[in-house]
Structure 1
Amino acid sequence: MDSALIPEGVKRCSLWKFLLALALVGAVMLWGVYAMLLCWIKGLNQTNMNDYYGFALWIWADLAVIALGGGAFFTGLLKYVFGKDQLKYIINYAVLIGFICYSSAQLILGIDVGQPLRGWFIFWHANVHSMLTEVAFCLTCYFIVLTIEYIPLALDNRQIQKVPFFANLTHNMHSAMAVFAATGAFLSFFHQGSLGGVSGVLFGRPFSFREHILIWPYTFFLFTWSAAAFGPSFTLFVTWLTEKITRKKLVKDEVIHMVAKISGWMIFTYIIAKSIDTLYWMFATAPSQGLQWSFFYQNNPLYGKWILFTEIIICGFLPGLLLIFKATRENPTTRVAALVLGIVGVCLNRWVMVLQTLAAPVMPFDSWVMYIPSWQEVATTILPITYGIILIMISHRYLPIFPQERELNPIDTPDAPEAAELPEPAPAVVAEGQSA
């Protein structure tokens, strides 16, 4: 039965190995579920959040996964709006990763609210003066878009495709993906930007406060830019990790190199804009608040000047340049190193915009406020990671996520003669094999 669900012409590990791996990851996930239930049943006193840290580990994780999931909207924009047709070989995985990241963000917010049954209040009793209201609306709408984009991929299972209704539905949904990709890019621009804008408008928190362009602080644009820059890097890294675990080549090198080059230029241009923003904050914005920039980094090893150097130089300019130059981009070792540095960089940026913003003293006589998350916070932060691993495992096993997998990994065994010479797919099948 299991073999009948696996896509034709590809090979998967034995069922017992697959179930064993699911059980191991599932055990860790249950630990996170237990912590989540404690937070819902006993309340947010299970956390170490306080009057200083109303936004803590969860919100950092939420902003980080939303940034890393930006590969979905940006890859879809490049594929369907700008016509980068080669991205059809990786767009399925970008959508899957984006779906995982955004559903994880929704889960994290559901835990952070403390009373998820009242989550609908934000829609029915919307505070129209709050940036977070716009974030909630755009985030929810884009998650719906990602769900719509993931449905035809889920329906591409070969047993489901035997049902004419689902086969026609899948084909028609694939045909309409350009509309959803454009809609998703529009929604992502605003919710990514507004997440940054929340920090930028905090005039009582000089560390994150920024000047404005029209009505938007600089952080509005930097958050969107960074998600478009580092999101594809995360997609490439997870693709590389999947290839290493499955011991298969899943995407051709020219596709990987093209996405890496685009991501490299986006990172490089973003980090230039980020550097200009930082310099202006150092020598104009902070002094206008009666403070010097060094005040926010002094005598504190956790938030010292090293964190600024690491974010901009080591995890900004360095990965950008490594991905721009052909020699380092096409070298697997330096490329993966650049991807990892980029992922760390965007996560570090979200960390300082959430945690350091709240930790930094706002008055000269204030002291730094340290924060250590509780085990419940750690467990519930790991929860969406395990959920994502499980969804990737199931999707990779039973769905044709990678269109080039059969070509790159031909099966040449006596018991699989049909794989020796694969027929050329019909145009309709080709369309069905591509997802947004």
Structure 2
Amino acid sequence: MDSALIPKGVKRCPMWQFLLGLGIVGAVLAWGVYAMLLCWFKGLNQTNMNDYYGFALWIWADLAVIALGGGAFFSGLLKYIFGKDELKHIINYAVLIGFICYSSALLILAIDIGQPLRGWFIFWHANVHSMLTEVAFCLSCYFSVLTIEYIPLILENRQLDKVPFFHNLSHNMHEIMAVFAATGAFLSFFHQGSLGGVAGVLFGRPFAFREGLLIWPWTFFLFTWSAAAYGPCFTLLITWITEKVTRKKLVKDNVVDLLAKIAGWMIFTYTIAKLCDTARWANITAPGLGQTLADFYTGTAFYGYWILFAEIGLGGILPAIILISPPLRKNPVWRVIALFLGVMGVSLNRWVMVLQVMATPVMPFDKWALYYPSWQEVATTILPVAYGIILIMISYRYLPIFPQEAELNPIEEEAPEPVEATTEPAAELEPAKA
């Protein structure tokens, strides 16, 4: 029965290995679900959040997965709007990763609000002056877009595709996918930007506050830019990990090279913009609020100058140089290093824009307020990772995610058994009768 569900022309691991993997990851998932239920039934006193940290580890994880999931909207924009047709061989996986990231973000928010049954309040009693309201609407709508983009992939399952209704529905949805790609790019631009804008308008937090264009602080544009730059890096990194786990080549090098090249130039331009923003903030914005650059980096070793260097240098300049240089980009080792550094860089950016903002003292009598999450917060942050791995395992086994897999990994047919030569003398042929 299982073999009838596997896509044609590809080979999968034995069922016992698949179930064993699901069981191991499922145990981690169960641990996270237990911590989530504690937070829901006992309240947010299960966390270490306090008056300094009204939001902490969860919001960092939320912002990080939303940025890393940006590979879905940007790859779709490149493929359907800008005509980069080579990306059709990786767009399915980009959509799956984006679906996992955005559903994880919504799950994290459901835990963070403490009372998920009242989550609908943000839509029914919307604060129209809040950037977070825009984030909630755009995030929910874009998750719906990703669901619509993921449905045709489900319908292409070997058995579902035999049903005429599902076959025709999948075909028709593919025909209009450019509309959803454009809609997703529009929604992503605003919710990615508004997440950055929330930090940029915090006048009472000089580390985050930025000037900007009209009502939008610079962080509005930097968050969108960074998601488009680093999201494809995460897609390529997860693709590489999947290839190593399955011991198969799943995407041709020209597709990987194209997306890595585009990501490299996006990171390069973003890093220049980030350097300009940091220079203006350090020399004009912060001094205008009575702060100096040293105030933000010399109070504790945990937030020293090293974290600024790690974000912009190791997570920005270095991966940009590697990915825009053809010899380095085409080298698998250097390319993976660049992808890993890029994912680290954008995650570190979201970390400082959430946690360092809260840790930095803003009053003369204040001290640095470091934050240590409870085990419940750690477990519920790992929960989406386990959920994502399980969904990738199931989707890879039963759905045609990688169109080039069968071509790159031909299944060797068993050779027919050789016919043994007889040792008996051949019988004489009888003369033909007239």
Which bin holds the TM-score, normalised by the shorter protein? over 0.9
Following superposition, the deviation at residue 28 of structure 1 comes to: 0.5
User: Compared with structure 1, are the counterparts of its residues 415 and 77 closer, same or farther at alpha carbon in structure 2 (3 Å cutoff)?
Assistant: farther
CA distance in 1, matches of 2:142, 2:209: 27
Residues 1:194 and 2:203 aligned together: no
Residues 135, 415 of structure 1: CA spacing in aligned structure 2 closer, same or farther, 3 A cutoff?
farther
Structure 2 contact 75–94 (Cα < 8 Å) conserved: yes
CA distance in 1 between partners of 2:296 and 2:408 (Å): 52
Query: Who is 1:231 aligned against?
Result: 231
Shift of 1:43: 0.2
Residue 181 of structure 2 aligns with which residue?
A: 181
Read off the aligned partner of 1:78 and give its amino acid letter: L
Correspondences of 1:85-100 after superposition (within 5 Å): 85-100=85-100
Which amino acid in structure 2 is aligned with residue 183 of structure 1?
Answer: T
Match of 2:432 in 1: none
Size of the alignment, in residue pairs?
416
- Displacement of 1:413 after TM fit? 1.7
Alpha-carbon contact 2:282-2:293 (below 8 Å) kept: yes
1:13-412 map, 5 Å: 13-412=13-412
TM superposition score normalised by structure 2: 0.95
- Residue 299 of structure 1 deviates from its aligned partner by 2.9
Residue identity over aligned pairs, in percent, reads: 76
Whole-Å Cα distance in 2 between the matches of residues 403 and 20 of structure 1? 27
Per the TM alignment, residue 414 of structure 1 is displaced from its structure 2 partner at its CA by: 2.3
Please give the per-residue CA displacement for 1:202-261, whole angstroms capped at 9, x wherever unaligned. Answer: 000000000011110000000000000000000000000000000000000000000000
Letter matched to residue 204 of structure 1: G
Runs of at least 5 residues in structure 2 that lack an aligned partner in the other structure? 417-434
CA distance in 2, matches of 1:219, 1:370: 24
CA-to-partner distance for each residue in 1:294-320, whole Å, 9 max, x for gaps?
111113111111100110111110001
- Say yes or no: does 1:5 pair with 2:2: no
Q: Distance in 2 between matches of 1:345 and 1:363?
A: 30
Distance 1:58 1:200 in 2: 19
SS at match of 1:402: coil
Asked if the contact 2:361–2:369 (Cα under 8 Å) also holds between the matched residues in 1, the reply is yes
Q: Which has the larger radius of gyration?
A: 2
Please give the secondary structure, in 2, of the residue aligned with 1:3: coil
Q: Measure, in 2, the Cα distance between the counterparts of 1:384 and 1:291.
A: 38
1:350 deviation in Å?
0.1
* Structure 1 Cα separation of the partners of residues 111 and 221 of structure 2: 28
Runs of 4+ in 1 over 3 A off after TM superposition: none
Supply the distance in 2 between the matched residues of 1:76 and 1:8 (Cα, whole angstroms): 26
Q: Give the superposed CA RMSD.
A: 0.9
Distance 1:116 1:415 in 2: 59
Q: What letter is aligned with 1:134?
A: E
What do the CA deviations read for 1:249-288 (whole angstroms, capped 9, x no partner)?
Answer: 0000000000000000000100110000000000000000
Distance 1:325 1:78, change over 3 A: same
Distance in 1 between residues matched to 2:397 and 2:269, nearest whole Å: 38
Query: In the TM superposition, what is the alpha-carbon distance from 1:402 to its structure 2 partner?
Result: 0.3
Give distance in 1, aligned partners of 2:290 and 2:299. 19
> What pairs with 1:403-422 in structure 2 (closer than 5 Å)?
403-414=403-414
Question: What letter corresponds to residue 126 of structure 1 in structure 2?
Answer: A
Change (3 A) 1:365 1:415: farther
